[in-house]
Structure 1
Amino acid sequence: MSLYIKVFLIGLIITYISTPLIRRFAIKLEAVDKPDKRRVNKRPVPNLGGIAIYLGFTAAVLFGSEPAADRTGIIFGGSLIMLIGVIDDIYELRPSVKLFGQLLAAVVLVLSGISIEFISNPFADSMIYLGVFAIPVTIIWIVGVTNTVNLIDGLDGLAAGVSIIAAATLFIVSLQEGQFITAVLTAALAGSALGFLRFNFYPARIFMGDGGAMMIGFILASVSIIGALKSAAAMTLFVPVLALGIPIFDTAFAIIRRVYYKKPIARADHGHLHHRLLALGWNHKQSVLIVYIMSTVLGAVAIVVNGLNFQNGMLLIIMSFIFLLYSCYRLGIFTVDLPKEGRSLHQE
């Protein structure tokens, strides 16, 4: 356990020290998010904070683990996706270019030997081998999770806090399953994100940008592949979905909402969970804390489910899913846009 604490602290300290330096660097480059109708910030905010998270995470992982294909694939893939994100933060790349970069990073991970070769069958004491579908399923999972974290990065401290909770959840599950490398990776990510959160919580002095959000999503997707999704235990199949429940469900609902109303899937709207909380009258901090609580509850469910038999585990998952659906319905995230009074929070 002392190693994991050291890894956590290295990630935290290096990110904490480097974030103000990166902030000054971003200001010199004029890499800032300026206020517009899509953003909540009412003043320009530097947006290269993901670089600090990357530095803390990479240093912690290199300290805490021996050279291995898993580690190499994650670091190289994470470096590539960070580079694409930073370029986008400075020059605003086309969505197709960003997607190509994400696919390339996913391929790097697959070439390092990390893939979803099988998943546990929750309805039988067996495994489902994916065969020729292993690589495409792996790439879809990586790209999907990478974008879910990026899409939830809509309020100060939101993506960083939710990522800390997800990483902590996967860390505990890693200890339950005796998986050393995933425990190191999640401890490093949790520490790095926490070191950054000091400067990113409302009112944010710096944003992680697409580079940071995509890198965190990439790491969480990778960890779940070499961790929970590699386990033969039936209930571990649901662990990463629950740990990443808020960003996954928020993204899924956004896609369903836009398809239902015949809107382009890539078109941004004001129907995300954090937008709805603001529209209901919660202030910025309160909205973020509510999402933290929801993420923590789902994370706790994931940890409990990992130790349950199939019947009890499925019952708890179904109850959690129904509660989440009902909560999202009550918040109105199936609608396309916020009510008129909610828009003023973002457009004025």
Structure 2
Amino acid sequence: MLYGIVAAATALLLSALLTAVLRAPALRLGILDRRRRRPVPLSGGAAVALVTGLVAVAGDRAGAAPLGTGVVRLLTAAACVGVLGLAVDVWRLRWWVPLAGTAVAAALVVPYGETGAVAGVLAAGWIVAVTAAFRGMDHADGLAGAVGTVTAFGVAACAAAELMDGIAVPLSVLAAALAGFLLHNWHPARAALGAGGSLFTGFVIASAAVFVRAGQGTGAGAGVLFALTAVVCADAVLVVLARRLARWPLTRGRPDHLGHRLRRLGLAPRAVAVLPGAAALGGVLVGVAVHTGRMSGGAVWWVAAAAAVLVLALVRLPVTPVFRARQRSSSVSPQVTEQLRVRNG
């Protein structure tokens, strides 16, 4: 317990420091968030991944928090996914490249001995989906960091309840590293996660959740996994449903994620991070309570109902594709250009 607190505090400080240190190299190398008009370096992703790995490995080597073979394999696969995401940030790889890499990594870390073959394949698919969806959350200042911090702590609590310290400690370290990164990602952001950091974070959280729930029943396990990642899942469903209704290609991006739509409702940039973070906390509390037996499994349906109401309420909001706004902005007045920028989040 004491070591976990020390490790988390260390991760928070190191992540905040390393994110700041890596800003200058990222700016010089042009590793920037291309969706923003001002230069925002993607130094947060490397900082979060490096700090999580270093602190977790240090604890394992010191014998304070042994990871175990399965967790070492999980962190190694997550590091590979993070490197692949960094390549996406630098070279703009096709959409299927990180998806295929994440699928291979997920297939290698699922504990098939505890889940069984069929449930293991479903678990691998769920890891891929959540990892990709978490990358989609990295579109607004503070959003991915806030949701990721809350979710990682929630999964860590579930692992601690099962006395799985080898998973609980790295997840606590990841949550603390994300909190340190948030110091630079709060609006107006001075750093962002990028594909490297968001894919790494999503993969670790989803894979660890599968480890914690493995062997405890497919139906009940799926309910807890959903509650723990309710906001991420709601954002993914919202995007898929909206693009299908608009007959827009799923793989072609546009500003139709949760954060974009909340901005169109008039919410302030910081509220766009705070409200989903609070919603994620609600889902996490239900997930942890169900996992530990303090609430019945039926409580998950309340989380699902709230997520469904959110999706249905936002799915019909009008969306203006970014490229259209940019094309029009070149031939209109500065006042209209600013209006278009606000509409596109």
Same fold (TM > 0.5):
yes
Mapping of residues 191-230 of structure 1, within 5 Å: 191-230=176-215
The residue that corresponds to 2:342 in the other structure is 345
1:258–1:233: structure 2 CA closer, same or farther, 3 Å change rule? closer
Indicate if the aligned counterparts of 2:128 and 2:203 stay in contact, CA closer than 8 A: yes
How many residues end up aligned between the 2 structures?
325
After the TM superposition, which of the residue ranges 145-154 and 295-304 deviates more from structure 2?
A: 295-304
Equivalent position of 1:89 in the other structure: 89
Q: CA deviation at 1:115?
A: 3.9
Pick closer, same or farther for the CA change 1:264–1:257 going to 2, 3 Å.
same
Query: Does the 8 Å CA contact 2:146/2:182 hold for their aligned counterparts?
Result: yes
Q: Using the TM superposition, give the Cα deviation of residue 197 of structure 1 relative to its aligned residue in structure 2, in angstroms.
A: 0.9
Alignment counterpart, residue 49 of structure 1, candidates 33, 38, 44? 44
Does 1:76 pair with 2:76?
A: yes
**C-alpha distance in 2, partners of 1:83/1:48?**
13
- Correspondence for 2:280: 295
AA matched with 1:337: V
Structure 1 stretch 232-241 or stretch 175-184: which is displaced more?
Answer: 232-241
Give the SS at the match of 1:49: helix
RMSD between superposed Cα atoms in Å:
2.5
Give 1:116 deviation, angstroms: 7.6
Residue 100 (structure 1) shift = 2.5
Kept in 2: contact 1:10–1:59 (CA 8 A): no
- The answer to whether structure 1 residue 20 and structure 2 residue 2 are counterparts is no
Tell me what 1:62 maps to.
57
- Aligned mates of 1:235, 1:107 — CA distance in 2: 22
Contact 1:254-1:334 at 8 Å conserved across structures: no
Range with greater deviation from structure 2 (193-202 or 169-178): 169-178
Instruction: Give the AA of the match of 2:304.
Output: F
CA–CA separation in structure 1 for the residues paired with 2:155 and 2:171: 7
User: Retained in 2: the 8 A contact 1:15–1:53?
Assistant: yes
1:144-180, Cα deviation, whole Å (9 max, x unpaired): 1110110111101110110000011112222222222
The residue type equivalent to 1:345 in the other structure is V
CA change 1:347–1:327 in 2 (3 A) is: closer
Say which of 251, 256, 275 aligns to 1:266. 251
Report the residue type matching 1:268 in the other structure. Answer: G
The alpha-carbon distance between structure 1 residues 159 and 261, as it changes in their structure 2 partners (threshold 3 A), is same
**Residue deviations 1:40-83, cap 9 Å, x none?**
x3311111321100111001211333252112212211111111
Q: TM-score, normalised by structure 2?
A: 0.86
The Cα of 1:299 is off from its aligned counterpart by: 1.2
Unmatched segments (≥5 aa) in structure 2: 60-64, 326-335
Deviation at 1:235, TM superposition (A): 4.1
CA deviation profile, 1:247-277 (whole Å, cap 9, x unmatched): 1121022212222333211122333211111
Amino acid across the alignment from 1:213: S
| Contact 1:81 1:102 (8 Å CA) reproduced | yes
Q: Which residue number corresponds to residue 231 of structure 1?
A: 216
Q: Which of 53-62 and 337-346 deviates more?
A: 337-346
What is the distance in 2 between the residues matched to 1:328 and 1:135?
28
Give me the whole-angstrom Cα distance separating, in 1, the residues matched to 2:49 and 2:247. 38
